[in-house]
């Protein structure tokens, strides 16, 4: 198997099993490869050891859970990821420079700093205003060509244009452009955020970098605005509407589905989608 594909599939596996006892032995066995060989390849491709990646993703995902479940006890969230109360608090503080309790108390309700542009602030709408632009929809599975990058989400726009130019011969009037994002940039270090840039393709596509994105029930927020304002919209939906909606996030990634792109004016019409149950 190609190294990049192996690492991409292992990252998908890890993200799907963060609340389980993950080990290098178990992951390498799942992909029928020596753990020493796998560890070396993972570090080469990501710049991070497999141990560090798993620990970081567990802590970052637990922070998202704190954000989405304001009434759930922090000790229970730590236990969900295999940590005792004291171990979880210590690990969280080491990773985020604050305790999980203080993190919970500091979750913004009306504005927050924009991590990509220090000094600028994103202002939220009310939960009711977000709700007016939200629908719950059922999606079919999508077969896509994708390229994954690890880095600052502020670079997504330029990666998209390179991707579209690279696969312009595949693009047609039925093509759907999708972005799959795994991290919350207000929580995860900006240099370590993961995003998949995707376009739908026929199942007979012969490229190696293809995968299925599972369908199901999704919260869909309809966005029409400048690319720079996507962060504020997503954070508002996550921080205000979703925690009080009665829905739970069902997978550890969200989707952005592009409907229109105006390159010159950096303007998009898109659906910001969160899988829910």
Identify the CATH number of the domain in which residue 159 sits: 3.20.80.10
Tell me whether residue 43 is in a domain: yes
Residues 161 and 215 placed together within one structural domain of the fold: yes
Whether 124 maps to a domain, the answer reads: no
pLDDT of 271: 98
* Tokens linked to 250: 């069902």
Is the confidence at residue 1, as pLDDT, over 80? Answer: no
99 and 151 share one domain: no
Quickly state the pLDDT bin for 77 (edges 50, 70, 90).
very high
Do both 81 and 211 map to the same domain?
Answer: no
Condensed to tens digits (0 to 9), the pLDDT of residues 246-276 reads 999 998 899 999 999 999 999 999 999 999 9
Q: Is the pLDDT of residue 34 over 80?
A: yes
**pLDDT 10s digits, 221-235:** 999 999 999 999 999
Residues 89 and 35 reside in one and the same domain = yes
Q: Quick one: 140 and 101 in the same domain?
A: no
Q: Are residues 86 and 155 in the same domain?
A: no
Question: Are 72 and 139 members of one domain?
Answer: no
**90 and 181 co-located in one domain:** no
Confidence of residue 147 (pLDDT cuts 50, 70, 90): very high
DSSP state of 237: I
> Does residue 253 lie within any of the structural domains?
yes
Predicted confidence at residue 2, as pLDDT, reads 87
Q: What is the pLDDT of residue 160?
A: 95
Q: Tell whether 58 and 14 lie within a shared domain.
A: yes
Q: What is the pLDDT of residues 83-116, one digit of tens each?
A: 998 899 999 999 999 999 999 999 988 999 999 8
Q: Tell me, yes or no, whether 153 and 90 share the same domain.
A: no
Identify the pLDDT of residue 119.
Answer: 87
Q: Is-contact 29 42, C-beta < 8 A?
A: no
Question: Which residue, 84, 105, 126, sits at the end of a domain?
Answer: 105
Asked whether residue 123 is assigned to any structural domain, the reply reads no
Residue 50's pLDDT is what? Answer: 95
Specify the DSSP element, H or E, that contains 212: strand 210-213
Structural domain includes residue 125 = no
Q: Does residue 47 register a pLDDT over 80?
A: yes
Asked if residue 163 is part of any domain, the answer here is yes
Domain that holds residue 254: 134-275
Residue 116, in any domain of the structure:
no
Query: What is the number of other CB atoms lying within 10 angstroms of the CB of residue 13?
Result: 14
Cβ contact 145:211 at 8 Å: no
Q: pLDDT by residue (tens digit) across 134-146? A: 999 999 999 999 9
Q: Which long-range contacts (CB under 8 A, 24 or more apart) does 38-45 make?
A: 38/6, 38/10, 41/3, 41/6, 41/7, 42/7, 42/10, 44/3, 45/3, 45/4, 45/7
- pLDDT at residue 222 in the model: 97
pLDDT of res. 51:
94
Q: Among residues of the chain, what percentage have pLDDT more than 90?
A: 92
**Is 244 among the domain residues?**
yes
90 plus 175 within the same structural domain: no
Identify whether residues 259 and 139 lie together within a single domain: yes
Alpha-carbon dihedral 156, 161, 167, 171, rounded to 10 degrees: 100
Give how many domains the chain has, as a whole number. Answer: 2
Give the pLDDT confidence score for residue 53 in this predicted structure: 96
């Amino acid at each position: 198997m190609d190294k990049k594909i192996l690492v991409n599939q292992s990252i998908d596996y890890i993200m799907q099993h963060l609340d389980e006892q993950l080990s290098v032995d178990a992951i390498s066995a799942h992909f029928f490869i020596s753990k020493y060989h796998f560890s070396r390849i993972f570090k080469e491709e990501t710049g991070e050891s497999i141990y560090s990646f798993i620990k970081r993703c567990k802590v970052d995902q637990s922070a998202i859970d704190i954000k989405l479940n304001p009434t759930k006890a922090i000790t229970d969230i730590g236990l969900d990821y295999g940590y005792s109360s004291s171990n979880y608090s210590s690990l969280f503080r080491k990773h985020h420079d604050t305790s999980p309790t203080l993190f919970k108390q500091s979750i913004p309700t009306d504005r927050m700093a924009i991590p990509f542009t220090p000094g600028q602030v994103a202002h939220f709408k009310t939960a009711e205003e977000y709700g007016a632009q939200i629908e719950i929809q059922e999606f079919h599975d999508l077969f896509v060509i994708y390229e994954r990058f690890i880095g600052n989400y502020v670079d997504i726009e330029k990666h998209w244009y390179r991707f579209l130019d690279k696969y312009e011969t595949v693009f047609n009037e039925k093509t759907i452009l999708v972005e799959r994002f795994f991290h919350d940039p207000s929580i995860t270090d900006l240099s370590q955020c993961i995003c998949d840039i995707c376009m739908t393709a026929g199942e007979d596509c012969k490229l190696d970098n293809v995968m299925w994105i599972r369908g199901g029930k999704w919260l869909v927020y309809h966005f029409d605005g400048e690319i720079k304002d996507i962060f504020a919209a997503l954070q508002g939906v996550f921080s205000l509407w979703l925690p009080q909606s009665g829905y739970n996030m069902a997978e550890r990634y969200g989707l952005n589905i592009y409907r229109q792109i105006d390159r010159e004016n950096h303007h998009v019409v898109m659906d910001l989608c969160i899988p829910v149950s």
